[in-house]
């Protein structure tokens, strides 16, 4: 029996169930989502090389200015502090015009890549220090884990694919590359720039394909890591919905309080309509305050007997009418006026009660 109990505890603690929306939401608040860094890298590279592909001529002119202006203009100026500051400002401005558009494109691509994967997400939880990261045992576990092996194989595959792409592009362009020494400098730069951009586009395109596969793996691994055990599901249900035992006690307490309030209103009632044994309906009619008699209290079996006892103690008239008592119990709630179809029957009963009390 002890062996069976241990087995049941083991299977109850095994994380075999999919994470609930609440668990996913809590993980997201902590900044834990399915995300691939390769998607960011691939999109940034592709965006930068695509940007250079369409704006390469403009950047070529700017780079030529950076190279030729110092050799043709700045070198002829006298070496003074004023000249040095002018040259420094001009060179800094020209370099900024080259670097800033590329950096802006890379930043925009990086933000877009993150948003595509996780949507808008801001969390400071990952910035909190964790002493567990200093544990050497866990460090070794991370190094020699299955995830580390997958990352290693992925890196080897990326290097192999990029190397093969670069080799093939250079191989098929070998004739142009060998002729660079026979061409003018500007034409050589044009050819080298075009080859560089082509290699970047081809390599980043392959990286995008790999990054999509990596994102699918990261999503699978994330879903696996946040799985829950059956006991976790039970605990979450208790925390969310409340312990069923406590909820039943709360409902019982609420019913008891409602019954006490109901019984306290009986002494001010006008009549009790009974079944006579199973149902009891207490009606109160205050002229000018309501257009119809109001159900003050109602009950069945034990509660009905208690209602009749309190009514008798307070000299409240009890009238037996089985069909009316049953119908009012099922169709009228406490605190509501009686339905219109019962007006005539209830009016006759109230008239009878008033005659007994010499109110009419």
Return the pLDDT at 260: 72
- Residue 167 pLDDT > 90: no
- What is the DSSP track for 75-96? GGS---HHHHHHHHHHHHHHHH
SS3 of 296, please? strand
SS3 of 275, please? coil
Give the Cα-Cα-Cα angle 124, 125, 126 (nearest 5 degrees).
95
C-alpha 319/C-alpha 297 separation (Å) is 15
Query: Which residue has tokens 């040095």?
Result: 84
SS3 of 19, please? coil
Return the pLDDT at 13: 57
Other Cβ atoms closer than 10 A to 168: 12
**71 to 63, 67, 82, 188: CA distances (angstroms):** 13, 7, 19, 19
Return the pLDDT at 261: 72
- How is the beta sheet containing 271-274 ordered, strand by strand? 294-300, 279-284, 271-274, 317-320
Give the Cα-Cα-Cα angle 232, 234, 238 (nearest 5 degrees).
115
C-alpha 283/C-alpha 297 separation (Å) is 7
- Residue 181 pLDDT > 90: no
Helix axes 146-172, 136-143, angle to 10 degrees: 40
Which pTM was predicted? 0.56
Return the pLDDT at 1: 46
Element (H, E) at 15: none
C-alpha 336/C-alpha 284 separation (Å) is 11
- Residue 133 pLDDT > 90: no
The answer to whether the beta carbons of residues 22 and 236 sit under 8 Å apart is yes
C-alpha 203/C-alpha 46 separation (Å) is 8
Token pair, residue 310, equals 């309190």
Alpha helices in the chain, H assignment, sequence order: 2-13, 21-29, 37-72, 81-118, 136-143, 146-172, 174-178, 185-225, 230-241, 244-264, 302-313, 322-331, 343-356
- What is the DSSP track for 318-355? EEE-HHHHHHHHHH--TTSBPPGGGHHHHHHHHHHHHH
The answer to whether the beta carbons of residues 299 and 306 sit under 8 Å apart is yes
Return the pLDDT at 173: 83
SS3 of 357, please? coil
**What domains are defined for the chain?**
32-119+134-227 (no CATH), 265-356 (3.40.1690.10)
**117 to 58, 111, 114: CA distances (angstroms):** 33, 10, 5
From 131-145, 180-194, 302-316, 340-354, the region with the lowest mean pLDDT = 131-145
Return the pLDDT at 92: 84
Return the pLDDT at 185: 72
**174 to 161, 168, 178: CA distances (angstroms):** 20, 10, 6
C-alpha 49/C-alpha 193 separation (Å) is 11
pLDDT in tens, 229-286: 777 777 777 666 655 666 677 677 766 676 677 677 677 777 777 876 778 888 887 7
Longest dimension (CA), the chain: 129
The answer to whether the beta carbons of residues 319 and 272 sit under 8 Å apart is yes
Strands 279-284 and 294-300: what pairing? Answer: antiparallel
Segment 92-100 shows an average pLDDT of: 83
- Residue 312 pLDDT > 70: yes
Return the pLDDT at 132: 63
Of the two residues 62 and 7, the one the predictor is more confident about is 62
- Per-residue confidence band for 108, with pLDDT thresholds at 50, 70 and 90: very high
In the predicted model, what is the mean pLDDT of the chain? 77
- Residue 194 pLDDT > 60: yes
């Amino acid at each position: 029996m002890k062996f069976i109990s241990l087995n049941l505890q083991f299977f109850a603690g095994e994380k075999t169930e999919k994470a609930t929306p609440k668990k996913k939401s809590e993980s997201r608040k902590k900044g834990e989502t399915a995300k691939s860094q390769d998607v960011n890298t691939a999109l940034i590279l592709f965006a930068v090389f695509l940007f250079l592909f369409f704006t390469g001529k403009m950047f070529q002119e700017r780079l030529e200015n950076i190279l030729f202006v110092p050799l043709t203009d700045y070198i002829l100026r006298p070496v003074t502090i004023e000249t040095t500051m002018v040259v420094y400002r001009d060179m800094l401005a020209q370099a900024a015009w080259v670097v800033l558009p590329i950096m802006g494109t890379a930043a925009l691509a990086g933000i877009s890549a993150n948003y595509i994967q996780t949507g808008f997400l801001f969390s400071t939880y990952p910035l909190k220090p964790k002493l567990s990261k200093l544990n050497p045992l866990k460090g070794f576990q991370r190094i020699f884990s299955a995830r580390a092996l997958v990352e290693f194989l992925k890196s080897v595959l990326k290097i192999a694919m990029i190397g093969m792409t670069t080799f093939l592009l250079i191989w098929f362009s070998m004739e142009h590359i060998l002729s660079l020494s026979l061409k003018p400098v500007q034409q050589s730069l044009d050819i080298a720039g075009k080859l560089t951009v082509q290699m970047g586009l081809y390599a980043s395109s392959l990286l995008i394909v790999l990054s999509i596969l990596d994102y699918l793996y990261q999503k699978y691994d994330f879903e696996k890591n946040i799985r829950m055990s059956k006991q976790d599901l039970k605990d979450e249900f208790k925390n969310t919905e409340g312990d069923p035992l406590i909820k039943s006690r709360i409902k019982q307490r609420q019913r008891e309080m409602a019954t006490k309030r109901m019984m306290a209103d009986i002494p001010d009632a006008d009549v009790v309509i009974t079944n006579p044994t199973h149902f009891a309906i207490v009606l109160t009619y205050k002229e000018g305050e309501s257009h119809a008699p109001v159900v003050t209290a109602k009950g069945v079996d034990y509660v009905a007997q208690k209602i009749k006892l309190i009514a008798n103690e307070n000299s409240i008239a009890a009238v037996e009418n089985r069909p009316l008592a049953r119908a009012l119990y099922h169709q009228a709630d406490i605190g509501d006026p009686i339905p219109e179809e019962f007006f005539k029957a209830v009016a006759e009963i109230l008239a009878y009660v008033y005659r007994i009390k010499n109110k009419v």
